[in-house]
Structure 1
Amino acid sequence: MVQVDILGHRAYRGLYPENTLLAFDKAYEAGVDVIETDLQMSADGIVVVNHDATTGRIWNRDYTIGETKWEELQTLRCNDPKFADQRMPSFVEALKWAVEHPRAKLMLDIKFTNDKIILIKSFADMLKVKNDLAYWKKHIIWGLWTVDWYAFGVQTGILNDFPLVCITLSLHVAKSFVEYSKKLDNPHYKLSGVSLHFVSTWSDQFQQKWLPYLKENNVRIYVWTINHEIDFKYCNALPISGFVTDYPLQARSAISKYKRSDTVFQKPKIGSKEGLRFYAFLTLYSWIAQLLFSPWSQYKVIGQWSFSYLMLKLLKLIHFL
């Protein structure tokens, strides 16, 4: 039976300001197995913990992180009045927090919009906080979006013996990671897992084709971002290793209701209320997988906004992402 991990999405995004040390504390208290968090890099090369490339959504002034020095970024405060004391942590601060919390494990979602030097900087930060590679290999999971970053991590030696996960919306991108790992044929750089949108696992194609393929290649499956009890029921019926969620405590409770040995994946009736949502999400995922990864998806359609940018905005609006 596959062990199921709970991964706190941006630590504990559902109840606390995402990716703050407060959210880290609360996720740890909730007993998450892994804290999923995001890295960006400032103009002066400081690795910081933030999901977006800009600061306006969470913080009280809007900057582009890659164009702003850390000296300015660390003056920002959370724009939610209830948490006005919270600020953006540097990666060094997050690592120091992790060392102080011995059970903590971090999955680093590193945005491919950064320069690849962020991998080198992040690696150096680990050694600066604790000069013990064996320790970090037990507490850090690298999460990468494109296979060229995987290749860079191999060429530089940074990924040596670290767990590595491909994060993607596309099953074909996931396959490119698996095939690259097979081509390397090096146990020190083997792909550990793939982190997929949870709806992708509902399709017949995934269950008949991709599940056996991933199992054959000993690749663990994580799904994101899953928050509704009915979605845990569907996904817990599959051999999924980890659930990335905004609400860790509710997730643990939901999973406990559906023992894998007693749960069979069963699609809802198409005419039911739940069936309408289920099949609408499946159709939407199919469109996304085709459209977002097509060559023309980056063409600007409104000012500086590309089709893929507008599509992602819509998906966030309807809580698909």
Structure 2
Amino acid sequence: MPNTQSRLQVRVIDIHGHRGARGLFPENTLEGYAYALSTGIRTLELDIQLTADDILVATHDFTLSTAQTRNSEGQWLTGTGPESITLTAAELKSYDIGGLKAGSPYGAKFPDQAFLDGVTIPTLEEIMVFCSDYETSSGAGSITLNIEVKSDPTRPGHTDRAEKTVDILLALIEKHAYADKVIIQSFDWAILDFVQDKASHLKRSYLTIAAHNGEHATIYKGSPWLGRTQCLSDDETIPALIKKAGGNNWSSLYKDLDEQAVSEARALGIGLYVWTVNETEDIDRMIDLGVDAIISDYPSRVQRRLMAHQMHWLGDC
């Protein structure tokens, strides 16, 4: 960053390390978060689910991935892995998630990811304590957690657990004084409805995949993903729906974002986060669109592109 630029002249786009830094370290692990923080990132994106014994843990897939999960004997899981929410925290911690299986499609997607042994699924409380300790020891400023609450209203058992999951999350946020250092996001807007009702002061971000993405879409007329917000027509815009839901931030698949959507979101006062942006040309396009935060498996790539644009990822640079 040129020293001649004043702080007021430097435009900032926050960088969220996706699941830590999934491109280089095992995802949703303390090891991955430590690496991301060591590079100067100060916002960590993570996924949480509620275990069978009511503990929030950081894990993404609804069933344990056979491409990244080994049992206590070092053997890869086969077939369909167990559903995360049916296991206790201790049972989940019995698995090693420190590496990706060679020859698997998922492993091929991240060929540079480190392979580690003895890496286990952390609890959200362990992550909060780790980050607080890191803040104290490094003196490098406050760490924000962008927490995605994994919930699928089309899967049995998820809707019934939504409010309990939020209650336990809010209790942890209060216990560890994280109210000013947390963003809560979810594709299942019912989760965000509960957060709005119980703790409206917390930042909420509404995750979406637009209807033109086909079977994986969450935004369409009659969608079960929108909580109590009704989508009245297939052409109702996402910013309008988020405003209707009482939201203040939009977490969009980067492919769904264009100048028109950005303009409408800005007119409605909605912040813009984009996921998961890994390639240089896509990072540059998001910078040009003027988003507020870029979520990436390779946060250092985003750092380099911001510096190339004479920008930064920290507001106090």
Q: Aligned in 2, Cα 1:218/1:174: closer, same or farther, shift over 3 Å? A: closer
Aligned-residue offset at 1:126: 2.8
Distance between the aligned counterparts of 2:266 and 2:87, measured in 1?
Answer: 43
- Does residue 176 (structure 1) correspond to residue 241 (structure 2)? The answer is yes
Contact 2:46 2:146 in 1 (8 A): yes
- Structure 1 counterpart SS, 2:31: helix
Q: Name the residue aligned to 1:243.
A: 294
- Structure 1 counterpart SS, 2:20: coil
Distance between the aligned counterparts of 1:251 and 1:73, measured in 2?
Answer: 32
Contact 1:78 1:86 in 2 (8 A): yes
Q: 2:276 aligns with which of 201, 204, 225?
A: 225
**Structure 1 letter corresponding to 2:248:** S
**Structure 1 letter corresponding to 2:134:** H
Q: Aligned in 2, Cα 1:109/1:5: closer, same or farther, shift over 3 Å? A: same
Q: Name the residue aligned to 1:166.
A: 206
Q: Name the residue aligned to 2:147.
A: 108
Q: 1:146 aligns with which of 165, 182, 188?
A: 188
Q: Name the residue aligned to 1:91.
A: 124
Contact 2:99 2:116 in 1 (8 A): yes
Aligned-residue offset at 1:151: 2.1
- Structure 2 counterpart SS, 1:19: coil
Aligned-residue offset at 1:19: 0.5
Q: Aligned in 2, Cα 1:79/1:242: closer, same or farther, shift over 3 Å? A: closer
- Does residue 118 (structure 1) correspond to residue 174 (structure 2)? The answer is no
- Does residue 19 (structure 1) correspond to residue 60 (structure 2)? The answer is no
Q: Name the residue aligned to 1:200.
A: 256
**Structure 1 letter corresponding to 2:95:** L
Q: Which has the higher contact order (CA 8 A, sep 6+)?
A: 2
Percentage of pairs with the same residue: 20
Contact 2:45 2:147 in 1 (8 A): yes
Aligned-residue offset at 1:222: 1.0
Distance between the aligned counterparts of 2:285 and 2:293, measured in 1?
Answer: 14
**Structure 2 letter corresponding to 1:127:** E
Q: Name the residue aligned to 2:5.
A: none
- CA deviation digits over 1:116-155, x for unaligned, max 9? 1211111122334x2x3xxx12211111223332222233
Aligned-residue offset at 1:31: 1.3
Q: Aligned in 2, Cα 1:95/1:79: closer, same or farther, shift over 3 Å? A: closer
- Structure 2 counterpart SS, 1:77: coil
Distance between the aligned counterparts of 1:230 and 1:37, measured in 2?
Answer: 25
**TM-score, reference length from structure 1:** 0.69
Distance between the aligned counterparts of 1:223 and 1:65, measured in 2?
Answer: 26
Aligned-residue offset at 1:212: 2.3
Q: 1:59 aligns with which of 69, 73, 93?
A: 69
Distance between the aligned counterparts of 2:98 and 2:43, measured in 1?
Answer: 26
Q: Name the residue aligned to 2:139.
A: none
Distance between the aligned counterparts of 2:27 and 2:88, measured in 1?
Answer: 21
- Structure 2 counterpart SS, 1:218: coil
Aligned-residue offset at 1:106: 0.4
- CA deviation digits over 1:13-35, x for unaligned, max 9? 01000000000100111111310
5+ residue gaps, structure 1, are: 182-190, 261-321
Q: Name the residue aligned to 2:74.
A: none
Question: Which of 70-79 and 31-40 deviates more?
Answer: 70-79
Aligned-residue offset at 1:79: 5.3
Kindly report the root-mean-square deviation, in angstroms, between the aligned alpha carbons of the 2 structures.
2.0
Aligned-residue offset at 1:259: 5.0
Contact 1:168 1:174 in 2 (8 A): no
Distance between the aligned counterparts of 1:69 and 1:124, measured in 2?
Answer: 19
Contact 2:239 2:265 in 1 (8 A): no
- Structure 2 counterpart SS, 1:167: strand
**TM-score, reference length from structure 2:** 0.70
5+ residue gaps, structure 2, are: 1-9, 72-80, 101-114, 136-141, 153-157, 211-218, 220-236, 312-317
- Structure 1 counterpart SS, 2:289: coil
Distance between the aligned counterparts of 1:146 and 1:76, measured in 2?
Answer: 27
Aligned-residue offset at 1:173: 4.7
